[in-house]
Structure 1
Amino acid sequence: MNKIILLYVVAHFLGDFVFQSDQVIGLRFSKEKRDRWIGNIRHMTIHLVIIIVLYVLLFGYTEYPIPIFIITTLGIVVSHMVIDVIKSELKARGKLRDKLRGLTLFIADQFLHVLLIILITARFRADVITIAIHTLYKSFPNNLDTMDKFLMVCIIIIITTFAVGTLIKMLFEDNQELEPLDQLEGNNESYDKGMKHGGLLIGYMERLFIMLVVAIGQPSMVGFVLATKTIVRFKKLDKDVFAEYFIIGTLISFLFALIGGLLIYTLKIIPVVK
């Protein structure tokens, strides 16, 4: 049970944060209702393909019967579609213009998706969920098998890199004072004079590096990232707005990366360097 839930969660985060293109996002939140439906259908198709691919690749590990997998997958995809259509409609009607409301909905949306994955996979049976949680608790982390740990690490990495990048982007978007600074996290292409989405990629690599050094038991190397960022952005730190953005964005990025690294370290899947 735990493996198939983890598989669905990995597929969800891959579909939402890794394989969702700007074009699909644009369609999903278009002012035209037809475009919104097209965008959401494309988004669901991507999710479905990812789930099927992961299931095929990990079939020998999940031991989840194909008929039940088909029914469960359809339930998850349909529920995901319903939530996303509602979200698209709310945004189209201007209900999400407030930044705090948008951030709250973003977090609640992801929580609801994961919750529904668990409930649908467990067929809404409380006893099944209780047993799954108890089994996970009793086996964590020493008695988890390699596949469980691998799927957990995938979830941690996707959330810490891609999801946190989206969170930072949402936190600073639509702020006229900060628009020229969006290249720091790759939020606005028009101000990115370097490589396209260069700032966003740097953010990903930054968090991946921090997670890695923490996971291998070398957290002191985190200072290298901070020192490098400070040197590169030193001249721009004279601007108050940029300095505030830099500090807040860096703290959020570092915090999530440290948490992710500690979780991976706890799983003991990567050898610790002494």
Structure 2
Amino acid sequence: MTEQAITTALACLLAHLLADFVFQTNAMVTAKRKPQVLLLHGVIVFTLTALALGGSLIPAALLALAHVAIDAAKTYAVPEQHRERLWPYLTDQAAHLVTITLLAFYAPEAFASGIWAAHSTTLIPPALFLAGLITATLAGGPAVGGLMLPHKAQAQPDGLDNAGRIIGLLERALIFLMVMIGEPAGIGFLIAAKSILRFDTVKKNQKISEYVIIGTLASFGWALIAAFATKAAMNSH
């Protein structure tokens, strides 16, 4: 893949992450069977992709159409009770990545012909960082949640509503930042702190203990992979 194609793919990837994990609310996800909600999501994808590419409208439109088609397939083909599990989520995201890659090969000059091309050297590092941060934090939530969903009913610890989700976001953000600043040793202190805070809860129930351990390892693992991949990409730029 040429440097132009890689830059185009990065712009489209950032737009995709923003559209799926920042500008798509839980209410939109729940109501996506409604055509107007699916269309609204497609408009958001098109707008963000066009902005990221610096005004290349045709590639943005093609990617938005592909995005809507993939989301429609997931929404209408996967039974509702399985839609939040890990495999539909990973399959959906993999399909989006494939379409971004294909677009980068089809129109590698999409970013280079846009208004941001002259500033690419300045824009690429923060774009990589932001894409990595979203991947590590917001994109990791559905992955970990989907992995743990089959065990949630029988081993969900009592606590505040959405507390687990917020804790997961914060811990993945901290892991990402520690890796990016070159202090991965600090992750050990994070593990120790979480173990101490959860000790009284997990020691009373083996199922809850195993649930917390699996969820924590999955969350940490996801964040570490995203962080080291982002750092490698930034170092190679």
Q: Which TM-score bucket, shorter chain as reference?
A: 0.7 to 0.9
Counterpart for residue 146 of structure 2: 170
Alpha-carbon distance between aligned partners in 1 of 2:72 and 2:149, rounded to the nearest angstrom = 23
In structure 2, do the counterparts of structure 1 residues 96 and 119 end up closer, same or farther at CA, with 3 Å as the change threshold?
farther
Q: How many residues align?
A: 219
1:252 matched to 2:218: yes
Matches within 5 A, 1:1-274: 1=4, 2-29=6-33, 35=34, 37-55=35-53, 59=54, 66=55, 69-91=56-78, 94=79, 97=82, 102-123=85-106, 145-173=121-149, 175-178=152-155, 180-181=156-157, 192-193=159-160, 197-238=162-203, 239-266=205-232, 267-268=234-235
Determine which structure has more spread, i.e. the larger CA radius of gyration: 1
1:38, distance to aligned residue in structure 2 (A): 2.4
Q: Is contact 2:19–2:48 with CA below 8 Å preserved after alignment? A: yes
Q: Which amino acid aligns with 1:176?
A: A
| Structure 1 pair 52–70 and aligned structure 2 pair: CA distance change class (3 A) | closer
Give the aligned residue type for 1:177.
Q
For residue 107 of structure 1, report the CA deviation from its aligned partner: 1.3
* Deviation of 1:78 (Å): 0.7
- How far apart in 1 are the matches of 2:172 and 2:122? 23
Please list every run of 5 or more consecutive structure 2 residues that lacks an aligned counterpart in the other structure.
Answer: 110-119
TM-score (norm 1): 0.71
* CA distance in 1 between partners of 2:52 and 2:159 (Å): 35
How far does residue 264 in structure 1 lie from its aligned partner after superposition?
3.7
- Are the aligned partners of 1:40 and 1:85 in contact in 2 as well (CA < 8 Å)? yes
One-letter identity of the residue aligned with 1:245: Y
User: Could you state the TM-score of these two structures normalised by the residue count of structure 2?
Assistant: 0.81
Identity %: 26
* 1:20 Cα offset (Å): 1.4
